[in-house]
Chain A
């Protein structure tokens, strides 16, 4: 397939979690995806050898490893040295899911699981753990030829995140995004054109009502789903209702009862959901290990970049002085649902309260209750009818935070009640903590500088909350009257569960659906071929391989890939499964340039953390500290499984 050279600014890094490859170092576009660097892990040496041979035939660069531990250290040593990992599920030294978890979180590489066990439960488990694909042995060449799509998708999604974070601040980024989009287009055009990037119109301000969208039929004949706030809310509700462990796409679909929505749409959305939860958990885990109050506090006030989001917060915070360590502890405690004496925020609270109380009418009444977190809970219970029991608090949090930040009145308006403000403040604190942490030290998760996660001044939420968020925040002008409900939200009873609820309320008062309303899943962008070009390592032709070796079939396959990919994406490809998230931008599949889309998808770790947080709470996890201590082996399931 012939493709033009990507017109990307030199030096532009296509972030791909792990990859630090520059576009120009990538495999020559016309040889894409040759040169894809694959790491195969399997204790069965026979399979390993066969896979190696097959992958080499696909012109991939293969590294084989028969021990999971060795594979992990290899990945750690050679950061950015691999594009995708294929791993067996059953291995003696480490469970494949564990490896999957590690890789996903530490290196953020796409991981493909494989096993001789092709039972639905096994496959489901793989998906739940965040595998981007699950191959059943015997693995065929055709399947291996397709794995590059996972790499592309992931890199593009993450790249969008990065773009989002900076695009609004820097026109240069926008240009690059455009360039990448063009590249992507050319890449797509290079195939049979069946999967052009979905250049949907992206309007950050646009709120999608979850209607199924089927533009750009060229890319896919299937209707694309745009996961709007409302739709995602429904999704979350369904998941909550079913319980995370039992939330299978089919049941979720039934509960959601959205005409036109397919099980595939839900499945892919769920996958993203799980991915983010995992990330969130890991984030939280790492977060708990970072206890430098000063580091958290210091930057807060000096962070002028916080922008609209942070304005009010800064004022409040400035008024109160540095965030006391107790606050962090309290926040942690809250998150952990551990009873903590220090839950009540000190000085800061007062100031915040004062400011808050000055404001608007539309507030969610908070109970005056002791612990900030608990008060939030109460608040929740009061407004339970208004707030759907969305488990995905991260979203609400992010949205809420955004709303919070962007709307000054909102902040105050939010809290008639001191506690409420406290809660809001808590959320802000968390967000800012995360932000600070991010700024101070790269997330352990995202150690790679190019990682998509990017703490942007705007949103409290998380690294990936980029400029886009900011824009969205500003978008949500209705935040004036919006009520940020930041705090803890537990659908059922609020006794111990704490979840962050952020809600961006539009002009309507106390939009009940609040919580998750704002943004949909921080999942990734559905479209397979969104802008940013994927960077693979420098491509090297396999020495000695017959040039036409697998080309013919490969070529054919390429042609069919898009469809296949689309089909497999279950609503991701070209389907706006990307949640507008903070940006209130629902348009996911949009064009390559769509910053939003990226931002949507990338809640990145912070959001994931939130997500996990909420989920944990929602599920009323048994122990006091479900999240951190329990960092489950099994990814998402682990979160809930106490």
Chain B
């Protein structure tokens, strides 16, 4: 059995995400919030974020699938996403939300449409990485005493 050091993998993943701008210092703060009393805090937050965002996107889908998209209905949803992703520390996704706002202010429907798609794309990328993180985290937690660095 390979001495898979999940922790190292996880650390590397987070590092790359930070470097590439998928995560920012806000996420680092979240990591710092994790401690002995809340050992699964980051995992919990990521899971909540993914679940919650998925729900919001469903609502966005509903609006976007209308014959005539009423972006006024999209606004609060994107705003909500913006709040979530920036609190979690996901700057790329947040930037996409900001762009949406800019297109909205400019009354650029096409721009809004593309921005929404961008938000979704960014979220998908992020979610994939998060899922990997969660898996690694679970492996780490499940590693038990077998792992030299495991818990």
A47-83 CB mask vs B (1 if < 8 Å, else 0) is 1011001100100000000000000000000000000
Interface residues of A in 110-169 (CB under 8 A from B): 115-117, 137-141
A551 to chain B, nearest CB (A): 13
Given contacts A53-B41, A90-B76, A138-B26, whether A47 and B33 have CB atoms under 8 Å apart is no
Across the interface, A44 reaches (CB within 8 A) one of B26, B30, B52, namely: B52
A interface size (C-beta, 8 A):
27
Chain A residues within 8 Å of B80, by CB: 43-44, 90
One of B64-72, B81-89, B108-116, B132-140 contacting the partner: B81-89
Given contacts A49-B45, A140-B29, whether A44 and B37 have CB atoms under 8 Å apart is no
A242 at the interface (CB under 8 A from B): no
Cβ–Cβ contact B35 & A50, under 8 A: no
Cβ–Cβ contact B35 & A137, under 8 A: no
- Please report the C-alpha to C-alpha distance between residue A483 and residue B41 in the assembled complex, in whole angstroms: 67
B38 at the interface (CB under 8 A from A): yes
Cβ–Cβ contact A44 & B87, under 8 A: yes
Across the interface, A117 reaches (CB within 8 A) one of B29, B79, B88, namely: B79
A38 to chain B, nearest CB (A): 16
Across the interface, B83 reaches (CB within 8 A) one of A44, A57, A549, namely: A44
User: Across the two chains, which residue of chain A brings its CB closest to B101?
Assistant: A117
- Please report the C-alpha to C-alpha distance between residue A577 and residue B40 in the assembled complex, in whole angstroms: 47
Cβ–Cβ contact A44 & B84, under 8 A: yes
B20-49 CB mask vs A (1 if < 8 Å, else 0) is 000000100110010111100100110011
Across the interface, B30 reaches (CB within 8 A) one of A50, A88, A542, A546, namely: A50
Given contacts A45-B52, A49-B45, A53-B38, whether A116 and B33 have CB atoms under 8 Å apart is no
B71 to chain A, nearest CB (A): 16
A143 to chain B, nearest CB (A): 11
Cβ–Cβ contact B83 & A50, under 8 A: no
- Please report the C-alpha to C-alpha distance between residue A116 and residue B49 in the assembled complex, in whole angstroms: 16
Interface residues of B in 108-151 (CB under 8 A from A): none
A545 at the interface (CB under 8 A from B): yes
A214 to chain B, nearest CB (A): 38
Cβ–Cβ contact B44 & A57, under 8 A: no
Chain B residues within 8 Å of A92, by CB: 76
Cβ–Cβ contact B26 & A546, under 8 A: no
User: Across the two chains, which residue of chain A brings its CB closest to B49?
Assistant: A46
Cβ–Cβ contact A139 & B33, under 8 A: no
Chain A residues within 8 Å of B87, by CB: 44, 46-47, 50, 137-139
Given contacts A116-B83, A137-B83, whether A46 and B36 have CB atoms under 8 Å apart is no
Cβ–Cβ contact A53 & B79, under 8 A: no
User: Across the two chains, which residue of chain A brings its CB closest to B34?
Assistant: A53
- Please report the C-alpha to C-alpha distance between residue A545 and residue B87 in the assembled complex, in whole angstroms: 23
B105 to chain A, nearest CB (A): 11
- Please report the C-alpha to C-alpha distance between residue A542 and residue B83 in the assembled complex, in whole angstroms: 28
- Please report the C-alpha to C-alpha distance between residue A138 and residue B82 in the assembled complex, in whole angstroms: 9
Across the interface, A138 reaches (CB within 8 A) one of B52, B76, B89, namely: B89
A544 at the interface (CB under 8 A from B): yes
B142 to chain A, nearest CB (A): 23
Chain A residues within 8 Å of B38, by CB: 53
- Please report the C-alpha to C-alpha distance between residue A570 and residue B35 in the assembled complex, in whole angstroms: 37
Cβ–Cβ contact A116 & B86, under 8 A: yes
B5 to chain A, nearest CB (A): 26
- Please report the C-alpha to C-alpha distance between residue A322 and residue B29 in the assembled complex, in whole angstroms: 66
Cβ–Cβ contact B30 & A116, under 8 A: no
Cβ–Cβ contact A546 & B35, under 8 A: yes
- Please report the C-alpha to C-alpha distance between residue A528 and residue B57 in the assembled complex, in whole angstroms: 44
Chain A residues within 8 Å of B41, by CB: 53
- Please report the C-alpha to C-alpha distance between residue A542 and residue B36 in the assembled complex, in whole angstroms: 13
Closest 6 CB pairs of A and B: A116-B83, A544-B37, A116-B82, A138-B86, A46-B49, A47-B87
